[in-house]
């Protein structure tokens, strides 16, 4: 139970973390480990920021979109400043952008974030021009997804690198990753291990494969026409698609209220078709959605949190109910919630990044979807577990669902942003 004193302390710590990681017009996820701007971190952070400084929330997203590629892609990292403490840096990506960026993308949560900011704005007329500019930019990104990552028009997009999913070392990628070679990668020095415990990070072999893919895409000149078909890693992730589908819906609604009718129509269509197509990823065996490996045409046998994220996007109450049951069952099996992988799977690892640990941003998206469908008890369960975890262990990058212990980087921006969200009455109740 949170007392008013604890609530006050959590709020002020969260505000402090946002300010420490604030570089003026963008935030870094945390000093040291991640010293640049990350795509979905910034969008989720902007939502949390809107509780303390609406203006700053808008600039967070605008800065990200200032670095959108001419083809519509929004990169996963913007290297605003030089910093030798991160690998792989701009020289490895070699994308030839005016401000260096990576060459891959990340979950498209911007449309959803924009809608939150717009709905909450105290001065909707004053932000109309900025909102319209962002609507147009986000629409170009959504079009890029369906053009280049869904070449056969299946209404589901593929990710070409685990880093695109935001769930870097999930069990979901293991089988496809075995097909990614490591020869010719050369030697390099990982910098993440200077800042975080090796037992909580991806393994050396996984890292070689991450880097092989980057080098491969670079050798293809980052050309979107070639990347999809030439990548040995081509996965349709239900979580990634659910986030995109929800953002298309959110963008359509904002576009409608701004009189951007063509954009509204296009994004309504993307989301309606995407929802239908998600059905092909359902697994009766796991009672949830699973990934589809497009490079070898098979479903992936892995029950991760990505397959529960469709609660964020679905409008079918019966499907959401099944997922709610499954989330509840995961919660029954660990002390803190929600684990990012099924604890009964032998591949579950309570400390290693996305193979078991809890991430508050995921809890937030689950809570949002569950609330829309009236699963209020489960919402309460997730919100109080999230806030309990934070009040005992601080605003870390992720948490061990068995012990509740803090893992990865400390003083994490998007964790702090989500705390501000969970403290709102309209999210927690
Ligand atoms: C890790 C996470 C990713 C996040 C990034 C910055 O790579 O897996 O989701 O965007 O860190 O916080």
pLDDT in tens, 246-270: 999 999 999 999 999 999 999 999 9
Put residue 414 in one of left, alpha, beta given phi > 0 → left and psi -120 to 50 → alpha: alpha
State yes or no: cis peptide before 386, omega within 30 of 0.
Answer: no
Segment 355-409, tens digit of pLDDT: 999 999 999 999 999 999 999 999 999 999 999 999 999 999 999 999 999 999 9
| Exposure string for 36-63, b = 16+ CB within 10 A, e = fewer | bbbbbbbbbbbbbbbbeebebbbbbbbb
Binding site membership of 34 for ligand 1 (Cβ less than 6 Å)? yes
Q: How far is residue 206's CA from residue 406's CA, in Å, rounded to a whole number?
A: 23
194 in active site: no
Segment 190-212, tens digit of pLDDT: 898 888 898 888 899 899 999 99
Q: Could you tell me the distance, in angstroms and rounded to a whole number, from the CA of residue 228 to the centre of ligand 1?
A: 22
Cα 88 to its chain centre, rounded Å, is: 20
Name the residue at shortest CA distance from atom 3 of ligand 1: 166
Catalytic residue among 172, 249, 349, 397: 397
- Single pTM value for the model: 0.98
397 in active site: yes
Binding site membership of 29 for ligand 1 (Cβ less than 6 Å)? yes
Closest of 245, 362, 355 to residue 308, by C-alpha: 362
Q: How far is residue 100's CA from residue 177's CA, in Å, rounded to a whole number?
A: 27
Q: Could you tell me the distance, in angstroms and rounded to a whole number, from the CA of residue 32 to the centre of ligand 1?
A: 13
DSSP structural state of residue 304: B
Helix axis angle for 317-333 and 360-372, nearest 10°, is: 140
Binding site membership of 359 for ligand 1 (Cβ less than 6 Å)? no
Ligand 1: which of 17, 26, 29, 207 to mutate, judged by most atoms within 8 Å of the beta carbon? 29
Give the number of other CB atoms < 10 A from CB of residue 217: 22
């Amino acid at each position: 139970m949170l007392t008013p004193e604890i609530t006050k302390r959590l709020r002020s710590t969260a505000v402090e973390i946002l300010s420490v990681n604030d570089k003026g017009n963008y935030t870094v996820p945390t000093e040291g480990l991640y010293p640049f701007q990350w795509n979905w971190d910034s969008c989720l952070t902007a939502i949390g920021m809107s509780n303390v400084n609406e203006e700053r929330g808008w600039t967070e997203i605008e800065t990200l979109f200032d670095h959108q590629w001419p083809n519509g892609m929004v990169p996963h990292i913007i290297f605003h400043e030089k910093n030798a403490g991160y690998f792989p840096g701009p020289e490895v990506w070699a994308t030839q952008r005016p401000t260096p960026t990576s060459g891959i993308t990340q979950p498209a949560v911007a449309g959803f974030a924009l809608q939150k900011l717009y709905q909450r704005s105290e001065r909707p007329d004053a932000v109309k021009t900025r909102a319209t500019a962002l609507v147009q930019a986000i629409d170009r990104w959504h079009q890029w997804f369906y053009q280049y990552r869904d070449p056969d028009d299946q209404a589901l997009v593929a990710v070409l690198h685990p880093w695109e999913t935001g769930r870097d070392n999930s069990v979901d990628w293991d089988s496809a990753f075995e097909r990614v070679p490591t020869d010719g990668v050369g030697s390099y020095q990982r910098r993440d291990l200077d800042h975080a415990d090796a037992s909580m990070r991806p393994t050396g072999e996984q890292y070689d494969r991450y880097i092989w893919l980057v080098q491969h895409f670079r050798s293809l000149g980052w050309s979107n026409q070639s990347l999809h078909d030439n990548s040995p890693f081509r996965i349709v992730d239900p979580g990634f698609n659910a986030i995109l589908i929800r953002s298309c819906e959110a963008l359509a609604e904002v576009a409608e209220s701004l009189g951007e009718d063509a954009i509204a129509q296009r994004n309504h269509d993307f989301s309606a078709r995407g929802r239908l197509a998600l059905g092909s990823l359902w697994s009766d065996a796991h009672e949830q959605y699973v990934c589809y490996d497009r490079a070898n045409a098979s479903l992936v046998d892995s029950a991760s949190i990505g397959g529960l994220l469709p609660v964020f996007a679905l409008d079918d109450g019966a499907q959401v109910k099944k997922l709610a049951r499954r989330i509840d069952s995961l919660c029954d099996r660990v002390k803190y919630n929600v684990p990012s992988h099924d604890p009964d799977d032998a591949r579950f690892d309570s400390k290693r990044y996305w193979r078991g640990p809890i991430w508050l941003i995921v809890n937030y998206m689950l809570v949002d979807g569950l609330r829309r469908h009236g699963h209020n008890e489960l919402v309460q369960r997730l919100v109080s577990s999230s806030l309990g975890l934070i009040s005992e262990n601080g605003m870390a990058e992720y948490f061990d669902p068995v012990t509740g212990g803090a893992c990865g980087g400390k003083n994490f921006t998007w964790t702090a942003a989500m705390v501000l969200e969970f403290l709102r009455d309209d999210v927690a109740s």
